[in-house]
Structure 1
């Protein structure tokens, strides 16, 4: 059963009131690890201001790096959905969690990447199931990667990804950045097979029906020339992660799993465990992302 503090896929309420929209976005500060400071950008211009009041917000993340790099990410406000969302999910055989919010594991993934810049330098990187693309955008802005592809299986989400890429081009330096529509059950990936040194993903193992397709996508995309790996972050959520890792093993890939991979993330996790007021209903099984590294 999904805890009440996680937005539930397929269950939403239409929300158009400006005051409620701003409150919905601001509440996310209590549903994250607070590793990357962010604020809602209040002053947008013309049409963008109207859109933000109706159903969207522009969130400015300030990276805790030496340059205090800023990333601007457009996203839906909490609990704002329409019938087209569900039609698209049915048409593309996808879930719509990527439209819900920036999930806590995505923030942890982004923070981990910022703490391990050398992993990505001069590498070709793809993010799977990226949602609004915080981690992919951070990798492009901060790590001197050669190329970053930010992908999702939901065409609405991919539109947001491209919009967010366009909004941040000034901080990418020489890194090539592009969006991609990528469904994990897609059979033909010949154009990009064996193309990536690093795959990153967060909160992508919850839906068991996508496990096999996700593992095969990882196996197809990872380069077989030189060292390559996939870096996944996600909570256990019952036996969901264990079943995903069983699929990984059966595919012939290897994996390691780490619980304490960053002292600051672990410190904040312990503070949530010991003080319910900081993150109401925080549960390790559903909230604390483990680090899984997958390779040949």
Structure 2
């Protein structure tokens, strides 16, 4: 920038001590990358001092330290000090330590008559920027020789020669306490006798006081001042934390013997310097060793890749191998036994005795002590492995069928259903098949075992796939080997679901792909589907894994779950709207069961229909509480996931029995407490129906006792029924339920 540059459009510097002109300059570095700089031109006593300031994020490499990237207040204060005292630097050799952007050093070279000026810094990137700024001001250095050099204070080999400088200047160079000893030792070496170290620094982090305390034991004179310039005090303010403090450290005019402090300082420096040298040597040895290991590893990888490529080329050059003849598939093992075992059933799961007749054979099965007789003609099919496995499962879980209605679909010979009828106290057993001849054989089998039947009633009927007879509902449906036709699975499952009571179950035993397809379709129709292969120890013992059939248990959700939730949600609204709940007569015994048994078989979701029935009135609340307890138990059972069908059935019966027992015990305890509190003689607990009638009678007596004689003579009528009606009004239930 020329000396005749106009300063009319200039601005004040950041700390207000100089006028300046700033503009952005783009340049290309050695690598060919475009780098952006801020070019700053400061007006220093009529001369323009120009230097570069790298912009953050402009592609330049990192410059260490904040003062290496911007002008600090100490830097501007030092430049002001130089401009007002130029004779201090006349014909002197000046060293600038921690030059940063180099503003103070450039002012010494351009505005004073110093003989030599050396700008130093430890950051190589800062040194590179200083060289660029030095070239920009080369025409302003009239009598001074200005140079730039990288110097690390803790590296003696980089220090300037001994007694080579008259004045050393620096701004904000003592903020690193670990380098105080190195800076002081370098000052003692490079300063001539009578030389001075001019330091400007702020007291922000407290390092200045520690440096001056150490310097007083080394230098002959240490002067500290804050009233060195009125312009600096006015621009920055002495109360500011960043206000620069001026310190002048002087070396004696005549070289004297070193004091104990200087000797101790030099001894510490020598020890640290030796440690640094040893550390550097070790680091260099590790670097060389790592390079050698990396080179050896790279060569090994290259050699391995060459060998692999060579092997691939040799393999590609070989003729293709001849195809091996395909192995003959192993013969499929038949699911039926190759020969009958004497005294055992077809699959060896039960003991069996045979008596030959002219037209048929009569077999007597011994199923865990229960005798069962079956006749087989030459045209009759043999009992399958699935039927015998289902029979073993039924014998293992007798409580599932006790007092239940059971249907066997596709019975065939009817072995599982007959075992349930013979060995378990079922309520009703029905054996069904689609073949009329099979139905006749089932009826003959029932007559043959009539003396051994323990079920209340038995029947043999014809039932085809997809057929749902009206008025029939069952608790359990069992079947074996009925899944050969995959296209009939959906209709079969829908018919089974409609034949089931709420919370009922279906047990199916089969094998093969048809069974897997059946269970996958059942997952979208039934609430829960469980499939097991290890479900009976006897089956696992006699049937190998290849021919062992699987067992699936399908469950319907309980109807009481939806009915109970809907009933509880609607009761509070009905009480508010009616004001008084009308009493209704109790249904005759068996009506509820008949309604459930004779429900519409075409209903898709009976649980929702049950929830839409009329709600009970206040008089039936005691009985509803009993039903709610049972419904809650059934909800808990429906949400329980047992590990097997055995655990599921036993949990159903155990939890229901326990819930009913706890319910009756609570009712008995409440009735006893109420009787004792009222002073009436204690009476044993009664069934829910009698309890309801007693509660209604007791409420009537209390109501009559509270009425006056005149009110007692006049019968009460319901609102809106007219004067001719004398129907008593059922009292509204209070908030506490008494």
TM-score (norm 2): 0.31
User: In the TM superposition, what are the counterparts of 1:31-42 in structure 2 within 5 Å?
Assistant: 32-42=14-24
In the alignment, structure 1 residue 232 sits paired with structure 2 residue 204: no
The answer as to whether partners of 2:52 and 2:133 remain within 8 angstroms in 1 is yes
After superposition, the CA RMSD in angstroms is 2.6
Counterparts of 2:177 and 2:162, CA distance in 1: 24
Counterparts of 1:145 and 1:176, CA distance in 2: 8
With 250-259 and 157-166 compared, the bigger mean Cα shift is at 250-259
Counterparts of 2:127 and 2:138, CA distance in 1: 16
1:164-222 Cα deviation digits (max 9, x unpaired): 11110101002100001111112235652211110000011111112111111211111
For structure 2, the residue ranges without an aligned partner over 5 or more in a row are 1-10, 252-738
Partner of residue 185, structure 1: 154
SS at 1:223 equivalent: strand
The answer as to whether partners of 1:136 and 1:148 remain within 8 angstroms in 2 is yes
Partner of residue 229, structure 2: 262
Cα deviation for residue 54 of structure 1 reads: 5.0
Of 85, 91, 94, which aligns to 1:116? 85
Of 163, 176, 182, which aligns to 2:145? 176
Partner of residue 289, structure 1: 244
User: In the TM superposition, what are the counterparts of 1:1-296 in structure 2 within 5 Å?
Assistant: 32-42=14-24, 44=25, 47=28, 55-63=36-44, 65=45, 68-77=46-55, 79-80=56-57, 85=62, 95-188=64-157, 191-224=160-193, 227-270=194-237, 284-285=240-241, 287-296=242-251
Greater relative contact order structure (CA < 8 Å, 6+ sep): 1
1:41-71 Cα deviation digits (max 9, x unpaired): 35x57749xx9995421111111x1xx1111
The answer as to whether partners of 1:197 and 1:223 remain within 8 angstroms in 2 is yes
SS at 2:228 equivalent: coil
Higher gyration radius (CA): 2
SS at 2:90 equivalent: coil
Counterparts of 2:160 and 2:35, CA distance in 1: 39
Counterparts of 1:249 and 1:129, CA distance in 2: 21
The answer as to whether partners of 2:90 and 2:114 remain within 8 angstroms in 1 is yes
Counterparts of 1:98 and 1:268, CA distance in 2: 20
Instruction: Specify whether residues 268 and 192 from structure 1 end up closer, same or farther in structure 2 by C-alpha distance, changes over 3 A only.
Output: same
SS at 1:122 equivalent: coil
The answer as to whether partners of 1:85 and 1:96 remain within 8 angstroms in 2 is no
Cα deviation for residue 113 of structure 1 reads: 0.3
SS at 1:159 equivalent: helix
Structure having the higher helix fraction is 2
Counterparts of 2:126 and 2:34, CA distance in 1: 19
Counterparts of 2:187 and 2:205, CA distance in 1: 23
Counterparts of 1:163 and 1:83, CA distance in 2: 14
SS at 2:157 equivalent: coil
1:8-53 Cα deviation digits (max 9, x unpaired): xxxxxxxxxxxxxxxxxxxx967x32112112135x57749xx999
Counterparts of 2:67 and 2:162, CA distance in 1: 24
The answer as to whether partners of 1:38 and 1:60 remain within 8 angstroms in 2 is yes
Instruction: Specify whether residues 117 and 52 from structure 1 end up closer, same or farther in structure 2 by C-alpha distance, changes over 3 A only.
Output: farther
Partner of residue 387, structure 2: none
SS at 1:110 equivalent: helix
Counterparts of 1:260 and 1:85, CA distance in 2: 36
Instruction: Specify whether residues 191 and 39 from structure 1 end up closer, same or farther in structure 2 by C-alpha distance, changes over 3 A only.
Output: closer
Instruction: Specify whether residues 82 and 190 from structure 1 end up closer, same or farther in structure 2 by C-alpha distance, changes over 3 A only.
Output: closer
The answer as to whether partners of 2:53 and 2:70 remain within 8 angstroms in 1 is yes
Counterparts of 1:124 and 1:36, CA distance in 2: 26
SS at 1:164 equivalent: helix
Counterparts of 1:252 and 1:46, CA distance in 2: 45
Instruction: Specify whether residues 249 and 56 from structure 1 end up closer, same or farther in structure 2 by C-alpha distance, changes over 3 A only.
Output: same
Partner of residue 13, structure 1: none
Cα deviation for residue 264 of structure 1 reads: 1.0
Partner of residue 7, structure 1: none
